[in-house]
Amino acid sequence: MRRRSRWGLGEITFWAAAAASLVVAPDYLLLLNEIAILALFALSLDLILGYAGIVSLGHAAFFGFGAYAAGLFARDIYGEPVTGLLVAGAASGLLGFATSFLVLRGSDLTRLMITLGLALMLFEAANRFAGVTGGADGLLGITMLPVLGLFEFDLWGQVAYAYSLGVLFVLFLVARRVVHSPFGLSLTAIRNNPLRAAALGMASRRRLVAVYTLAAAYAGVAGALLAQTTQFVSLDVLALHRSADALLVLVLGGAGYLYGGLIGAAIFRVLQEWLSGITPQYWQFWIGFILVAIVLFGRERLTQAPRRLFERLGAMVRRRTP
């Protein structure tokens, strides 16, 4: 476990590049902020899907619950961002703990339906109680104080992206420590063979409840980041496409290792931005086409094809070079 938990050169390079993007990409800070928030949301889903094997089609319930909790807290009580993050994470974690006993019952199909139903119920509740949530008009009047009393949010998104990236990094460190611990290994054992894990004496239900609660808190923090950096919350945070986007991100980046959600979030948002600029009406078609290609041909085969092409071109150049 010590060997697996050591930092490699690739990991250091990844986070160094993310930090350097604050300086080298000043025109794309708002897009980078969205990528950081989506990456944290996908990371939360990866904790339960990739490591514990818990499928979910309504993970946006915790994302949206955290967004509304942070927005209401900032509007009505206290607008300090870090405090709002803690409140939103605790609120979504409590919701995850309360619903985990229902979600973890039954088969994967049952879990899909329960999680989807939970998200739909919260969506309709937010729409019904418009006096609290703002309904279809959204939650207005959110005013955020400077982060830690020092850094005020600007129109260019520099503080917002630095804030979201910092939160993502801290929570990634916690998740990395969790998955490389005996607890994380037990989750993998339960995912691979729940009957054998139970025969070995593992308290499977307690471990699944714990990781589900942690993932819900992570999703709530991601929703709170969106509410705080945009200073607006709408019903869209509870929509079905939020959960679908997180699943698509894990398909692109890969589930079962923490960087899959981070890399997939960057690929998904860059593709979305690029394709919507080329074909505003049909960009979803091309996203779907890419996903179908990944499923049919496999991620390894798609990534090996360009590498083999470059190797052949290099060999041809070397043969022709005297």
d(CA 134, CA 136): 6
The pLDDT value recorded for residue 26 is 86
Q: Are the C-beta atoms of 183 and 207 separated by less than 8 Å?
A: yes
The pLDDT value recorded for residue 111 is 85
The pLDDT value recorded for residue 301 is 52
Output DSSP code: residue 152: -
Task: Extract the tokens encoding 305.
Answer: 């094809």
Cα→Cα distances 230→32, 132, 139, 298, Å: 13, 19, 11, 37
The pLDDT value recorded for residue 262 is 92
The pLDDT value recorded for residue 313 is 53
The pLDDT value recorded for residue 310 is 47
d(CA 127, CA 199): 46
The pLDDT value recorded for residue 71 is 93
**Where are the domains positioned within the chain?**
2-269, 279-322
Nearest to 240 by CA among 66, 69, 64: 64
The pLDDT value recorded for residue 319 is 61
| Regions in the chain scoring below 70 on pLDDT | 1-5, 295, 297-322
pTM of the model: 0.88
What percent of the chain shows pLDDT beyond 90? 40
d(CA 30, CA 8): 29
| DSSP string over 77-145 | T---HHHHHHHHHHHHHHHHHHHHHHHTSS-HHHHHHHHHHHHHHHHHHHHH-HHHH-GGG-B----PP
The pLDDT value recorded for residue 205 is 84
The pLDDT value recorded for residue 318 is 57
